[in-house]
Amino acid sequence: MPKSVYPHEPRRALSGPKGLAITNLSYMTDTLTIDTPTTMPVAHAKALYVETYGCQMNKADSELIVGLLLRDGYRLTDQVEQADVILVNTCAIREKAEQRVLGRMSELNRLKSINPNLILGLCGCMSQHLGEKIIDKAPYIDLLAGPDSYRRLPAMLQALDTNQEPALDLSWDRVEHYLDIDPIREAGVNGWVTIMRGCDKMCSFCIVPFVRGRERSTPHQEILRQIERLGEEGYKEVTLLGQTVNKYQDGKVDFATLLQRAAEIEGIERIRFTSPHPSHFPDHLIDIMADSPKICPHTHLPLQSGSTTMLERMKRDYTAKTYLDVVYRLRKKIPHIALTTDIIVGFCGETEEEYQATYEMMQTVQFDAAFMFKYSPRSGTAAYKRLEDNVPEEDKGRRLTAIIDLQKSISSDRNQAYVGRTVDVLVEGQSKRDEAKLFGKTDAFKTVVFPALPEIQSHMIVQIGITSVTPFTLFGDVV
Ligand code: SAH
Ligand code: F3S
C-alpha cells in the first residue's frame, strides 16, 4: 500500500468527504501572470495522479507538483487506472523505503498494458539518489525528476509526447524555492508550509543533504503570505517545514521572529514546526514559544542516540549533555510541552554500552512518542564511505524491539496522566475505525477520539474530557 496518495489519504482517519482534496482552485488563475520558463497552459486536460512516500516535506512537495501541473492544464484524478501521468514522489532515507517504491513502480507499470501512452515518473529524493542507473533496472520509468527540478516537469512531460527517450532532470539549484507556485493543498485543518529546503548538517548516516541539496531559507514575506492565504482559506493550523527548521534565517528574520510574526496572522489558531535540530534552541526562541498561545507545546526533537561517542560518529554536533540541556530548558519554560523524537539503533560500531545510553536517555527524557529505526547504510554518505556497518542484524533487531517496548510503556504512562483532564481538540473529521466517532488533536499533538455530535464539525476546537487512553490515542467525551 502506498504510504500516502494525492489527494492524500488523511493521516489516521477520514477528514471530511472522500474524493478530490482540492480546497480552492481559484488561485490557480492568480499565478498565470508569472513568467515560467516552461510552457503556457494548454487545455490538454490529461489526468494526473500523484502518490507520495516519506516525510511531510515530500507531502508539501507533492502539493507543489500538483499546483504546478494543474496550472499547466492537467487535471487531477484519484483513480490511478484513469491517469495519463503517474508521478511517484519518493523517499531515500532508508533502503526499505526505496525497495517498497521500486515494487510499487513495477506494479504501476502493469497499467501500461491498459494505457500504452501512460507516463510513469519517479520524483523526489530516490530519483536524485539512484540517478540514471535506475532506468537500466526499471526501463519502464519515463521520467526522473529530483527535488530541485519540479519547475521543469511541464516541459519534461511535453517532451515525452514526441520523444521516446526518458526525460531526466536531476540538476541542483541552490536558489530554488518555487516561490511563484501555489501548492494545491490537502483539504483539512492543517496546511504545510515549507520554510527551508535542503540541509547543510551532513550527519554521517543521512542521505538528505545529497538528495535535497544545500540549505536555503525561503524569504519570510513569502512564508507569511502563504500563511495568510491559509488563514483566509479556512485552515486552522500551519506546520512550518524544514530539515533543520529552527535554523531558519532570512536576513534579520530568524526562526523565533518568523514564529512570532506567524502567530499574528488571523484565522490560524495553531502553529507547529518540524523538524528542529537540538543545536539551535536559543533561549529567546523558547521564550517566544512559551509566550504565544498559538505556538503548540510540542517539539519533535530528533535524538538519534543517547551516547556522546555515538553522536560524534554520527556527526550530530551536540552531546548527550547538551541535548538534555535543551530538554530541561524547554520543560522549564513550557512545563506541559510534549516531546517526540527519532532514534537510530545499530549505527556503525554501536557497542552495548552506547546502545544502553540511548535506552537510559529515553527513560530519563520520557518522550511522548518516538520514531525508531535500525540503521540503514546509504551510499554517498560519510558513514557509508568511512565507517563499517558492523552491528549484526540480530543485535539491531533486538535493540530496536527493546526500545519500541520501552517507548510504548512510556507513551502509555504519559497518556495515562491525561485521564480526568479536559483538553482542547481541533476536530479533523470522522474516525476511521468508528463512524460514530470524531477525531482531532490536542495542541500537544495527541490524537483524541470522541463520540460525534451533530453540532460538532471539523475545524472546530472543542473541549474533551479524557476518560481512557492507549499508548497512541486518548479517548473521551465532549464537555
Ligand atoms: N532533519 C531531521 C531528520 C530527517 S530524516 C533531523 O534533524 O534529524 C528523519 C529521520 O530518519 C532521522 O531523524 C533519523 O532518525 C532517520 N534516519 C535518517 N537516515 C537514516 C539511516 N541511514 N538509517 C536509519 N534511519 C535514518
Ligand atoms: Fe539528515 Fe542530519 Fe540534516 S539527519 S536532514 S543531515 S540534520
What confidence tens digit (pLDDT) does each residue in 321-360 have?
Answer: 999 999 999 999 999 999 999 999 999 999 999 999 999 9
pLDDT at 271 over 50: yes
User: In this predicted structure, what is the pLDDT of residue 351?
Assistant: 98
pLDDT at 170 over 70: yes
pLDDT at 36 over 70: no
DSSP secondary structure of 239-290: EEE-TTGGG-EETTEEHHHHHHHHTTSTT--EEEEE---TT---HHHHHHHH
- 257, 293 contact by CB (below 8 A): no
pLDDT at 254 over 80: yes
Mark which of 416, 431, 455 sits at the end of a domain: 416
Q: Whose CA is nearest to atom 18 of ligand 1?
A: 206
Element (H, E) at 412: helix 393-416
Report how many domains make up the chain: 3
47 and 129 fall within a common domain: yes
In this predicted structure, which of 39-48, 250-259, 263-272 has the lowest mean pLDDT?
A: 39-48
336 and 374 fall within a common domain: yes
Rounded to whole angstroms, how far apart are CA atoms 121 and 143?
Answer: 4
pTM, two decimal places? 0.90
CATH code, domain with 243: 3.80.30.20
Going by pLDDT thresholds of 50, 70 and 90, the confidence category of residue 32 is: very low
The verdict on residue 55 lying in a domain is yes
User: Torsion angle, CA of 367/373/377/381, rounded to 10 degrees?
Assistant: -30
Give the pLDDT mean for 224-233.
96
Q: Is 198 in the pocket of ligand 2 (CB under 6 A)?
A: no
The verdict on residue 180 lying in a domain is no
CATH code, domain with 471: 2.40.50
Going by pLDDT thresholds of 50, 70 and 90, the confidence category of residue 4 is: very low
The verdict on residue 2 lying in a domain is no
130 and 266 fall within a common domain: no
Domain, as residue range, for 374 = 190-416
Mark which of 378, 400, 416 sits at the end of a domain: 416
What confidence tens digit (pLDDT) does each residue in 124-140 have?
Answer: 999 999 999 999 999 99
Q: Whose CA is nearest to atom 13 of ligand 1?
A: 342
The verdict on residue 12 lying in a domain is no
Q: What are phi and psi of 313, to 5 degrees?
A: -65, -30
Residue 74 CA, distance from chain mean position: 25
pLDDT > 70 in the chain, percent: 91
365 and 455 fall within a common domain: no
User: In this predicted structure, what is the pLDDT of residue 129?
Assistant: 95
Give the pLDDT mean for 375-380.
96
The verdict on residue 368 lying in a domain is yes
308 and 427 fall within a common domain: no
Measured from the alpha carbon of residue 214, the closest ligand is 2
Going by pLDDT thresholds of 50, 70 and 90, the confidence category of residue 14 is: very low
What confidence tens digit (pLDDT) does each residue in 41-91 have?
Answer: 455 689 999 999 999 999 999 999 999 999 999 999 999 999 999 999 999
Q: Whose CA is nearest to atom 8 of ligand 1?
A: 302
Ligand 2 nearest-atom number relative to CA 200: 3
Ligand 1 mean position, distance from CA 304 (Å): 8
Going by pLDDT thresholds of 50, 70 and 90, the confidence category of residue 371 is: very high
Strand ranges in 304-349 using DSSP code E only, listed in sequence order: 338-345
User: In this predicted structure, what is the pLDDT of residue 116?
Assistant: 93
412 and 428 fall within a common domain: no
User: In this predicted structure, what is the pLDDT of residue 186?
Assistant: 85
309 and 445 fall within a common domain: no
The verdict on residue 11 lying in a domain is no
The verdict on residue 185 lying in a domain is no
295 and 245 fall within a common domain: yes
CATH code, domain with 62: 3.40.50.12160
461 and 333 fall within a common domain: no
User: In this predicted structure, what is the pLDDT of residue 187?
Assistant: 87
Residue of 197, 206, 207, 255 to mutate, ligand 1, most atoms within 8 A of C-beta: 206
Strand partners, 474: 448, 469
272 and 376 fall within a common domain: yes
User: In this predicted structure, what is the pLDDT of residue 127?
Assistant: 96
Q: Is 190 in the pocket of ligand 2 (CB under 6 A)?
A: no
- 214 compared with 42, residue with greater pLDDT: 214
Going by pLDDT thresholds of 50, 70 and 90, the confidence category of residue 163 is: confident
- 420, 435 contact by CB (below 8 A): no
pLDDT at 256 over 80: yes
User: In this predicted structure, what is the pLDDT of residue 25?
Assistant: 24
User: In this predicted structure, what is the pLDDT of residue 309?
Assistant: 98
Q: Is 229 in the pocket of ligand 1 (CB under 6 A)?
A: no
pLDDT at 40 over 70: no
pLDDT at 263 over 50: yes
288 and 342 fall within a common domain: yes
The verdict on residue 78 lying in a domain is yes
Q: Is 304 in the pocket of ligand 2 (CB under 6 A)?
A: no
Q: Is 277 in the pocket of ligand 1 (CB under 6 A)?
A: yes
User: In this predicted structure, what is the pLDDT of residue 44?
Assistant: 61
58 and 110 fall within a common domain: yes
Q: What is the mean pLDDT of the chain?
A: 90
Strand ranges in 59-118 using DSSP code E only, listed in sequence order: 75-76, 85-90
